[in-house]
Chains A and B, each alone.
Chain A
Amino acid sequence: MALPPISDSARLVASPDVMATRVGAELVVLNLQDGVYYSLDEAGIRIWELLQAPVTVPAISQALVSEYEVEEARCDGDVRTFVAELASRGLVQVQEDR
């Protein structure tokens, strides 16, 4: 299901309907709503950690740019795509400012 683009001021947070655990180098995430499991790798894990408290897309991008050697514009695009995917699968809640 395609969702509208996430604005810069929108606050995102991991859904309360999700449980997760580290298994080796990956993070396994279970959506309790549909029983589907997901696996996140290193970059996804870091974004997931940031999503444990309400956070904006720019804040996630800035954190990754400062922690990894990655170009800002590319990082921002990748983060937007990734969190949009998480939201479309019900793993993340998006609260837009009204």
Chain B
Amino acid sequence: MTVAWRRFRGLPADDRRLVIQAALLLGVAWAGLRVASYRRVLRLLERRGQRGAGQDAETAAERIAWAVEAAAKRSPMPMTCLVRALAAHGMLRQRGLPSQLRLGVRVRGERAARALESHAWVQCGTRMVVGQLPDLDSYRTLRAPGVQR
């Protein structure tokens, strides 16, 4: 804990602010999913902000990815892929950056041993922000009613 705190104190001020924001949104997402629906938590977190002048989307997405992972690793609560995805999505949207939060499922096993696995990830344009997996292609993306593949 002391080492982690010293490391945090040693970060540039901008990075410290970013990690704090990530921690806050992770906490909001984690708590929100326990008391409200995913849809309500998503609406709360994805209020769009203004894009900062000169803000490079690629760099911003990279920093947000780092901040979310850094904050999630040090959280006392288990931060699922969905919580991380909601936090990253919220941070991107607050900066007026493009963000696609995807939910996907796959079925593993046969008959009695069949199990449904779900996963959440976020992309900013073509860049994966959180939720990258080596076998991400094995997940089928869930779509809203009326949305054609």
Contacts and interface: CB of A to CB of B under 8 A. Distances in A.
B76 to A, nearest CB: 23
Interface residues on A, range: 20 to 34
Given A26-B107, A28-B105, A21 B140 contact: yes
B37 A52 contact: no
Contacts of A34: 37
A16 interface: yes
B38 A15 contact: no
Nearest to B141: A21
Interface residues of B, number: 18
A14 B145 contact: yes
Interface in A1-33: 13-24, 26, 28, 30, 32-33
A37 B118 contact: yes
Interface in B99-118: 103-107, 116, 118
A32 B145 contact: no
A22 B103 CA distance: 13
B74 interface: no
A19 B143 contact: yes
Given A23-B140, A28-B142, A37-B116, A17 B105 contact: no
Interface of B: 33, 37-39, 103-107, 116, 118, 140-146
18 contacts: A18-B144, A19-B142, A19-B143, A20-B142, A20-B145, A21-B104, A21-B142, A21-B143, A23-B105, A26-B107, A28-B105, A28-B142, A32-B37, A32-B38, A35-B37, A35-B38, A37-B116, A51-B145
Given A13-B145, A17-B39, A35-B38, 16 more contacts: A14-B145, A16-B144, A19-B103, A19-B145, A20-B142, A21-B104, A21-B105, A23-B106, A28-B105, A28-B107, A32-B37, A32-B38, A34-B37, A35-B33, A37-B105, A39-B116
